[in-house]
Structure 1
């Protein structure tokens, strides 16, 4: 009997009455099978992509963070920008419009103190 058929039977059994120990055992068995299949599939995937994983690990050691396009480039074996280049492109340019937090006032003259006679 396939997983979906057994799962459907378990769901129907639980929906109509409190689950009995056999139903709970069947659910546990199915969940364990799903987890085991996932472990096997994940292990195979990681083993088949070992080269790419090592490239990514090395790039992360060098750069600490990678964005999506950089990850894709690393996997394809392409070079990515060096950290210094990233910092230069991220730094604000010196000729950008920056508002002075303490502007000098030139619109009105300062009042002068006059000595009383």
Structure 2
């Protein structure tokens, strides 16, 4: 599966909500892995193998990705784009269509209600 720089899918492959990546059907999963092998997005952005390897290790330790094989995690990381946000930037806004999945690599993110109350810190 390919994404543009805003995280919007560029082909028709679909992820089913709440399914882990292991639950892709075989054709979708193989297509994703083969497509990702042709690029190394994280290397170009981060500039070093240690960042890439660290991302793979951290994902593998997360409960959502614990049973996902190494090859698939490598493919997933190859599709990632590192985005930097400034303090007080809106990352996700209630009511907007989600087009990306975010992982916090460094820093904190506040979850704020419509009335400005801090609901959680991530």
TM-score range, shorter chain: under 0.3
Larger relative helix fraction = 1
Larger relative strand fraction = 2
Give the TM-score, by structure 2 length: 0.22
Of structures 1 and 2, the one with the larger relative CO (CA 8 A, separation 6+) is 2
